[in-house]
Amino acid sequence: VVYKRLGGVESVIAKAGSVTYTKGEWFSLGVRARGPVFEVFVDGASVLGFTDADLTSGKVGVGTRECAGAWFDDVEVSIPDPVLTDGFTDSQMGWAVSHFDAYDNNPQPPEWDESDGVLSMMGPSTRGTAAWTGSTTWTDYVVASRILSNDNDDVGVVVRFQGDDDH
């Protein structure tokens, strides 16, 4: 499922049908953004294409939606050459964190941590949380990450992040 938040309002803009991941197993997820055209890849295979012209540039990130725990590794952004490669080996959280919407009966936000070579999100199930980095001027790029979740809810990459209300 591809979500968009514009002016603080969230909507579903595309669905990939029967694409799933196995809880507790690593998988790769990537998104290519070129102008208004997007293509989503799971483990190297193209699974979804869609168009959306609302956000034309922005930062990148990784995030979850209603998920209790996820790990992200080997995040790479290419424009067309790699401009960001993060294997999370320096144990210094260089990514900013945002939380969206209300927490499900829990006032404590989830915790993001960079250690042991991965970026992790652990905590209460939330409507949405993301860690992001990069430049709001990035336009056409590919972002990819290896992802592991201990939950069967939404995990993924974030493209064209302009702020908490626009991504």
The DSSP symbol for 80 reads S
> Which residues lie below 8 Å from residue 118, measured CB to CB, with a gap of 6+?
71, 72, 73, 88
Partners of 113 in beta bridges: 120
The DSSP symbol for 135 reads -
pLDDT-above-90 percentage for the chain: 38
pLDDT digits (tens, 9 = 90+) for 85-144: 877 766 454 688 887 655 445 566 778 888 888 888 887 656 788 888 888 999 999 999
pLDDT band at residue 64 using 50, 70 and 90 as cut-offs: confident
pTM of the model: 0.87
Distance CA 112, CA 135 (A): 21
Partners of 119 in beta bridges: 72, 114
| Identity at 128, one-letter amino acid code | G
Residue 17 CB coordination number (10 Å)? 7
Angle of CA points 84, 149, 128, to nearest 5° = 75
Tokens representing 50 are 């869609």
